[in-house]
Structure 1
Amino acid sequence: PVLPGLAQPYGILVTGVGGTGVITIGQIIAMAAHVEGRACSVLDMSGLAQKGGPVMSHVRVAEDATHIHSTRVGTGMADLVIGCDVIVTAGRDALSRMGEGRTHAAVNSTQMPTAAFVRNPDWQFPTASSEGEIAQACGRDNLSLVDAGRIATALMGDAIATNMFMLGYAWQKGWVPLSEAALLRAIELNALQVDFNKQAFAWGRVAAHDVEFVLNAAGRNGTSAQVIDFKRTPSLDELVERRVAFLTDYQNAAYARSYRDFVEQVRQRESALGEAGRGLKLSRAVANYLFKLMAYKDEYEVARLHSDPAFRAKIAGMFEGDYKLRFHLAPPLLARRDEKGHLRKQAFGSWMMPAFGVLARLRFLRGTAFDPFGYTGERRQERALIGAYRDTLMRLLSQLTPANLEQVIAVARVPEGIRGYGHVKERHLQDAKLKEAALLAQLGQGSSQAPQSPQSPPDGGKQAA
Structure 2
Amino acid sequence: DVTGLAQKGGAVMSHVQIANKPDDIHATRIAMGEASLVIGCDAIVTASDECVSRMQAGQTRVVLNSAHTPTAELIKNPNWRFPGSSTEADVRAGAGDECVDTVDANHFAVALLGDAIYTNPFVLGYAWQRGWVPLTYQSLMRAIELNNVQVEKNRAAFEWGRRAAHDPATVRKFAQSQRAGAATDAEANATSSKIISLHTPKALDTLIDKRAAYLTAWQNSAYAERYRALVSQVRAAESALDSGDGQLPLTEAVAKNLHKLMAYKDEYEVARLYSDPAFIEKLKASFEGDWKLHIHLAPPMFSKKDAQGHLIKKKYGPWVFSAMHGLAKLKFLRGTAFDIFGKTEERRTERALIGEYETLVRELIGGLNAQNRELAVELANLPDGIRGYGHIKENNLKGVRVKWNDLLARWRSPQAGTTQHAA
Q: Which TM-score applies when normalising by structure 1?
A: 0.67
1:303 to 259, 262, 271: 271
Deviates more, 1:200-209 or 1:429-438: 200-209
State the alpha-carbon separation in 2 of the partners of residues 359 and 197 from structure 1: 33
SS across alignment from 1:443: helix
Instruction: Quote the Cα distance in structure 2 between the aligned partners of 1:348 and 1:272.
Output: 53
1:122 aligns with 2:90: no
Change (3 A) 1:133 1:398: farther
Aligned counterpart, 2:160: 207
- Aligned partners of 1:41, 1:94: CA distance in 2, in Å? 19
- Equivalent in the alignment of 2:209: 241
Structure 1 residues 420 and 379: alpha-carbon distance in aligned structure 2, compared to 1, 3 A threshold: same
Report the Cα distance in structure 1 between the residues aligned to 2:359 and 2:386, rounded to whole angstroms: 18
1:329-372 CA deviation, whole Å, 9 max, x = no partner?
22223233344443333332222112111111111221223322
Aligned residues of 1:293 and 1:386 also touching (Cα < 8 A)? yes
Q: Give the corresponding residue for 1:44.
A: 30
* Alpha-carbon offset, residue 438 of structure 1: 1.0
Corresponding residue number in structure 2 for 1:421? 389
Specify the alignment match of 2:106 in structure 1: 147
Which structure would you say has the larger Rg?
Answer: 1
Shift of 1:135: 9.0
Distance of 1:314 and 1:248 partners within structure 2: 23
Percent same amino acid at aligned positions?
42
Letter in 2 for 1:347: K
Aligned to 1:23: 14
* Paired AA for residue 250 in structure 1: W
- Please say if residues 20 and 163 of structure 1, whose CA atoms lie closer than 8 Å, have aligned partners that are also in contact: no
How big is each residue's C-alpha offset from its partner over 1:381-401, in whole Å with a ceiling of 9 and x where there is no partner?
A: 111110111111212221112
Where does 1:202-351 land on structure 2 (aligned, <5 Å)? 202-203=155-156, 205-209=158-162, 233-234=198-199, 235-275=203-243, 278-351=246-319
Tell me the SS of whatever aligns to 2:243: helix
Residue 166 of structure 1: CA displacement? 3.2
Unaligned runs of 5+ residues in structure 2 are 173-181, 188-197, 415-423
Correspondence 1:178-189 to 2 at 5 A: 178-180=135-137
Check whether the contact 2:42–2:67 (CA below 8 A) recurs between aligned residues: yes
Find the residue that maps to 1:113 and give its secondary structure. coil
Q: Which runs of 5+ in 1 are unaligned?
A: 1-12, 46-55, 61-79, 216-226, 447-465
Separation in 1 of the partners of 2:67 and 2:381?
28
- For 2:371 and 2:116, how far apart are their aligned partners in 1? 53
Cα drift, residue 289 of structure 1: 0.9
**Aligned-pair Cα RMSD in Å:** 4.6
The aligned residue for residue 395 of structure 1 is 363
What CA deviation, in whole Å up to 9, does each residue of 1:245-272 have, x standing for no partner? 1111111111111111211111111222
Deviation at 1:325, TM superposition (A): 2.5
User: How has the CA–CA distance of structure 1 residues 263 and 130 changed in structure 2, closer, same or farther, with 3 Å as cutoff?
Assistant: farther
Distance 1:408 1:59, change over 3 A: same
Are 2:128 and 2:162, in contact at CA under 8 Å, matched by a contact in 1? no
Bigger shift: 123-132 or 350-359? 123-132
Q: Measure the CA separation in 2 of the matches of 1:265 and 1:158.
A: 39
In the other structure, the counterpart of 1:167 is 124
Normalised to the residue count of structure 2, the TM-score between the two structures is 0.73
* Distance apart, 1:295 and its partner CA: 0.5
| 1:177 to 1:131, Cα distance in 2 relative to 1, 3 A | same
C-alpha contact 2:35 2:56 (8 A) present in aligned 1: no
Aligned to 1:59: 35
Residue pair 1:169, 1:208 contacting (<8 A) in 2 also: yes
Q: Is this contact kept in 2: 1:22–1:57, CA < 8 A?
A: no
Rounded to whole Å, the distance in 1 between the matches of 2:154 and 2:343 is 55
Do the aligned residues in 1 keep the contact of 2:141 with 2:155 (CA within 8 Å)? no
In 2, Cα distance between equivalents of 1:252 and 1:230: 23
Residue identity opposite 2:64 in structure 1: V
Residues 14 and 57 in structure 1, CA contact (< 8 A), matched pair in contact too: no
Q: Secondary structure at the match of 1:425?
A: helix
Q: Does the CA-based 8 Å contact 2:123-2:161 persist in structure 1?
A: no
Which amino acid in the other structure matches residue 431 of structure 1?
A: G
Q: Number of paired residues?
A: 382
Equivalent position amino acid for 1:175 in 2: W
Specify the alignment match of 1:356 in structure 2. Answer: 324
- The superposition leaves residues 286-335 of structure 1 with CA deviations (integer Å, 9 ceiling, x where unpaired) of 11111110000001100000001121112223333333332322222323
Does the 8 Å contact 2:235/2:251 carry over to 1? yes
Partner Cα separation in structure 1 for residue 104 and residue 297 of structure 2: 39
Q: Is the 8 A contact 2:4 2:45 kept in 1?
A: yes
- Shift of residue 195, structure 1, vs aligned partner: 5.9
2:237–2:365 CA contact under 8 A, matched in 1:
yes
> For residues 396 and 127 of structure 1, do their structure 2 counterparts lie closer, same or farther at Cα, with a shift above 3 Å needed?
same
Distance 1:344 1:396, change over 3 A: same
Q: Select which of 378, 381, 402 maps to 1:410.
A: 378
Moved more, 169-178 or 258-267: 169-178
**Counterpart amino acid of 2:382?**
V
Task: Give the whole-Å Cα distance in 2 for the aligned partners of 1:16 and 1:390.
Answer: 43
Can you list the C-alpha shifts for 1:33-89, whole angstroms capped at 9, x where unaligned?
x349999999637xxxxxxxxxx98434xxxxxxxxxxxxxxxxxxx5522213344
